[in-house]
Structure 1
Amino acid sequence: MDRTILHAARDVAVSAVKAAGDITKHRFATYHQCEDKGVFGDVVTEVDHLAEQVIVEAIGHTFPEHLIRSEEAGQLGKESDWLWLVDPLDGTNNYVIGLPVFAVSITLLFKEEPVLGVIYEPMTDRLYISFKDEGFFCNGVQMQMKKKPQLQLQRATLGWIQGHLVQHDEQAVQLRQHLDLKCKRMLRVWAPTLVWCMLAKGDAEAIVLYNSEGEDLYSGVLMVQEAGGHVMDFQGRPFQGMCEEPYLIACHPDYKEEWLQIVKQGLRA
């Protein structure tokens, strides 16, 4: 992997997420069009498309030989070892009800391994960057996941992420209820990238993800991994690469066995 490409990609991605973020912030509460996307409650606005256009054009101009997969536009460009994943407005459902919890996310993968993640939270002006093997940064400050003296579930904040197609799947509902009763607080933010960043910063103790793959997944996974966190599947195997139907647990590595057992208990309940 050419690290020169990686660092040039960072500059493009940072510029693009900030430009897209400015659009989302400026149009917040003033957008004009909102349409249903699918039959399970997802939505899209003209802001998604405007932000996406800025990002896709920036990437395509600098890296015309790379493949781009963007949430609204789909797949663009040629087959390549380099794949860009773009979520121009992660948290559109929040956006349309006036809840200022959303982000812009770009991920670059090389041979299906995430190598660069850039997430921008425009309402708080927080810029998160992660490089493969180079760390996790928030507004230029390198950060490591905090380790608490012991795992105390009654004080734990847990992020729950599920795919739109999951809906009221019986096993998902059972697991979600089990986790909700075990922990102090379960977050269902509907802006997954921000939940991953919370975990990477140490503002949450764990994430349980139930079959949610998309353009918003891999930037967050890389953030947590580069902050020193552990990401595994429901069998306890380390998560790497890409997966069409991921079932994941992310947490501090010292507590991976405890969280794995809690999830397994919920699946058996």
Structure 2
Amino acid sequence: MEQFWSEVLNFCKKTTTAIADTLIEEAGNVSPNAKDDGSLVTSADHWADQTIREAIASQFPTHGILTEETTHIFPDQDWCWIVDPIDGTTNFTRGVPIWAISLGLLYRGTPVFGFVYLPPLKQSFYGYWYGDSGLTGPTGAYCNGQPITTSEDTPSKSHLFNLCARSLKVLQKPFPCKIRMIGVASYNLLLVASGAAVGGVEATPKIWDIAAVWVIVQAAGGSFIFLENTAFFPLTIGENYGKKSIPSLVVNQSKFISLFKPLVECVL
């Protein structure tokens, strides 16, 4: 397995960096179109999606693929990649230099490896989380090759908690932390994994928003809570995940779930 995981990590690094320069040139210079759900998509999203799919098919021909811009049906294959070619398309189209490329690798329906690259920031996050899959290999979470862990601090008014644009109801009541809104679902939650924030909530993320970070957050010592379904994984073969929202809360330590969960359940 060690050779396999080395191949997976090197593939993610090579593939995301290969498309990063083109995407950086396009950022702020492409006209978006609105999808049915109101989110934006550009020609750059489609190009990156196709490029990543072709790379996976070449390197891992037996693996399945589910991406934001194409196939939403979970396939009948042990290994499946879930891809978000540009997470934070609104930031991307407006020239805000925070957006990401996200790749999650699932084994029998459950994420076991996650990789998220933010080209404008030159930050690569990745991690391994095997759960009860029976798999073995490297462990931990990393940013640019350096180990990361969640903060051990007790939340306070000097700590950060991240919201998404659809979770502003949280502010109807007093909140114990300072609020930030990043505009990129994966980075919102990765800031908890890296220790920069003590928590974050996403009201309507899709599977491609969370597949990679679900792994990285837990590998870094954090807790990932599904606000509607306590056990969202494993995914179901043949099911369409294109329109399934997965309200999610991430906290730095499990002991603070009881503090934050009642405050964010209003997003449901």
Normalised TM-score (structure 2): 0.83
* Residue of structure 2 equivalent to 1:105: 102
* Residue of structure 1 equivalent to 2:247: 247
1:183 CA drift (Å): 4.0
Distance 1:246 1:76, change over 3 A: closer
Distance 1:161 1:217, change over 3 A: farther
1:3 CA drift (Å): 5.3
Fraction of identical pairs, as percent: 22
- In structure 2, runs of 5+ residues without a counterpart are 131-138, 236-240
- Superimposed CA distance per residue, residues 230-268 of structure 1 (whole angstroms, 9 cap, x where no aligned partner): 11234895765459443332112232222234346x589
Alignment of 1:100-249 (within 5 A): 100-132=97-129, 134-148=139-153, 150-152=154-156, 154-161=157-164, 174=169, 176-178=170-172, 181-234=174-227, 237=230, 240-242=233-235, 244-249=244-249
Distance 1:128 1:151, change over 3 A: same
1:113 CA drift (Å): 1.1
Verify: 1:38 aligned to 2:41, yes or no: no
Distance 1:233 1:178, change over 3 A: farther
d(CA) in 2 for partners of 1:144, 1:77: 31
d(CA) in 1 for partners of 2:147, 2:233: 23
Does structure 1 conserve the Cα–Cα contact (< 8 Å) formed by 2:116 and 2:125?
A: yes
Pairs aligned (count): 252
Verify: 1:63 aligned to 2:66, yes or no: no
* Residue of structure 1 equivalent to 2:28: 29
1:53 CA drift (Å): 2.1
The letter of the residue matching 1:160 is: L
* Residue of structure 1 equivalent to 2:258: 257
d(CA) in 1 for partners of 2:48, 2:75: 22
d(CA) in 2 for partners of 1:106, 1:50: 16
The letter of the residue matching 1:38 is: D
1:125 CA drift (Å): 0.7
Does structure 1 conserve the Cα–Cα contact (< 8 Å) formed by 2:100 and 2:118?
A: yes
SS at match of 1:262: helix
Aligned Cα RMSD in Å?
A: 2.7
SS at match of 1:182: coil
d(CA) in 2 for partners of 1:233, 1:75: 20
1:46 CA drift (Å): 1.3
